[in-house]
Amino acid sequence: MLIVKKFGGTSVGSPERIMNVAIRCVEDFKKGHDVVVVLSAMGKTTDELIALAHKVNPKPQKRELDMLMTTGEQVSVAMMAMAMDSLGVRAISLNAFQVAMHTTSQYGSARLKRIDSERIHHELEDRKIVIVTGFQGINKYDDLTTLGRGGSDTTAVALAAALHADACEIYTDVDGVYTADPRIVKSAKKMPVITYDEMLELATLGAGVLHNRSVEMAKKYGVTLVVRSSLNYSEGTVVKEDTGVEKLLVSGVAVDKDADRVSVIGLKDQPGIAFRLFDTLAKANINVDMILQSIGRDGTKDISFTCDDGVMDDAIKAIEGAKGRLQYKGIDTRADVAKVSIVGAGMMTNPGVAAKMFEALYNEDINISMISTSEIRVTVLIDEKDAERAATAVHDAFKLSD
Ligand code: ADP
Ligand code: ASP
Ligand code: MG
């Protein structure tokens, strides 16, 4: 069997933890399996490297930031190879360059395009454990790129697909995927299985346990994922196409505190205005999420949208730069907002789900400022200070801990 095992930052956060992971991987290797290990940077290294960059430049160039951040993963893979060697097992660490993990060119949010699997196969045939840096790639300029925060999960799934692995195991600091972030909602319950679609929605809406691109890729290539703890041997959660169980009305709650709201006030109430606004944002490479347009009054209207807090300044700059074309009166922004979402494949055939969510928020006296829905989710934008109370109230209203 070929097994890809990915370990996140906490799991390799100290020399002792690295040793613990090494032992776990060696157990599989000694059973005769081929083992490919994907690692994140140790502990909070990536955050620390970003903070370090900002000490010398408030707006570090994205290329150089990637160059800096990718060092984190290089530390952990080298450490792991040394730990395995100390256990008497042959192991080799490889970075994105050595494997050749090709990505698109945008620094900070590159997408994996192609992985050369030759070197890895060669090392596996030589009976070594292969340890690969997560989160990084190389672009057409031979520069190092990163896949976006949390991107090591995507490296693991991409490798599992490229190597036709028999298993892809994502080890983290919780026992699996829960009905809500167990650090926020105390009554959250571990799910034994979840579909790709539900997991994708949860991950996209803020459940950081898996990088959303990793789920997208797992679905595309049919890679079954298992999310489990690196600290114990409990079963974990299987992420796959069809769970074989009856679809739950609501399977989980997600919280995203990284959302910001931007409102463009006093736009002309005429055709083409929304197009011009979102075209301006798209050209500036800004992803928007929820959108709300007010009805026109006195010939003007307002359009609000949410985006990640990392891009709000760029969004404002783009809108201000297009003032002549957009002709608005003002821009109003808020960073202290959060999105709370419910996700469930059973929702599409059941009216009343949204109402129940709103009722739970009403009972807690929490005001909703924006709403958006899809077939399998409902998202509300609320004050960030209410996020945890809202998530718990909604989680309990749908009895997800039963
Ligand atoms: P790693 O470093 O292993 O990649 P992450 O911090 O990226 O770990 O992801 C694990 C964290 O995801 C957990 O500690 C938990 O707080 C958070 N999380 C958010 N939503 C969920 C959820 N629905 N189920 C489990 N964990 C979740
Ligand atoms: N080390 C990177 C991060 O902190 C990648 C990852 O952990 O998946 O975002
Ligand atoms: Mg992660």
The CATH number of the domain where 124 resides is what? 3.40.1160.10
DSSP annotation of 190 reads B
Is 50 part of a structural domain of the chain?
yes
Q: Which atom of ligand 2 is nearest to the CA of 148?
A: 9
pLDDT single digits (tens) 14-66: 999 999 999 999 999 999 999 999 999 999 999 999 999 999 999 999 999 99
pLDDT of residue 349: 74
For residue 223, report the distance from its CA to the centre of ligand 2, in Å. 21
Most distant pair of Cα atoms in the chain: their distance: 77
The answer to whether residue 96 is domain-embedded is yes
- The parent domain of residue 33 ranges over 2-173
- pLDDT value for 401: 86
Q: Which residues of the chain have pLDDT under 70?
A: 243, 245-247
Place of tokens 């990793």: 214
Helix axes 312-321, 273-283, angle to 10 degrees: 120
Distances (CA, A) of 265 to 130, 261, 274: 55, 13, 12
Give the per-residue pLDDT at 243: 67
Ligand 1 binding pocket includes 209 (Cβ within 6 Å): yes
- pLDDT tens digits for 210-249? 999 999 999 999 999 999 999 999 999 999 998 676 667 8
In a domain, 219, yes or no: no
Residues composing the chain: 402
Burial 172-205 (b: 16+ CB within 10 A, else e): bbbbbbbbbbbebbeebebbebbbbebbbbbbbb
From 152, 215, 227, 308, mutation site for ligand 2 pocket: most ligand atoms within 8 A of C-beta: 152
Instruction: Report the alpha-carbon distance of residue 223 to residue 216 in Å, rounded.
Output: 10
| Ligand 1 neighbour 172 (Cβ under 6 A) | yes
Q: 364 exposed, middle or buried (CB, 10 Å; 0-12, 13-18, 19+)?
A: middle
- Number of domains into which the chain is organized: 1
Decide: 108 in ligand 1 pocket, CB within 6 A. Answer: no
Q: How many CB atoms lie within 10 A of CB 360?
A: 19
Residue 52 lies in a domain: yes
At 88 the three-state DSSP class reads coil
Residue nearest to atom 10 of ligand 1 (CA): 209
285: left (phi over 0), alpha (psi -120 to 50) or beta: left
Structure confidence at residue 274 (pLDDT): 95
What is this structure's pTM? 0.93
Instruction: Report the C-alpha gap between 8 and 347 in whole angstroms.
Output: 32
Q: Which atom of ligand 1 is nearest to the CA of 207?
A: 20
- CA separation, residue 150 to residues 12, 96, 232, 311 (Å): 14, 16, 22, 17
- Ligand 2 atom closest to the CA of 44, numbered from 1: 4
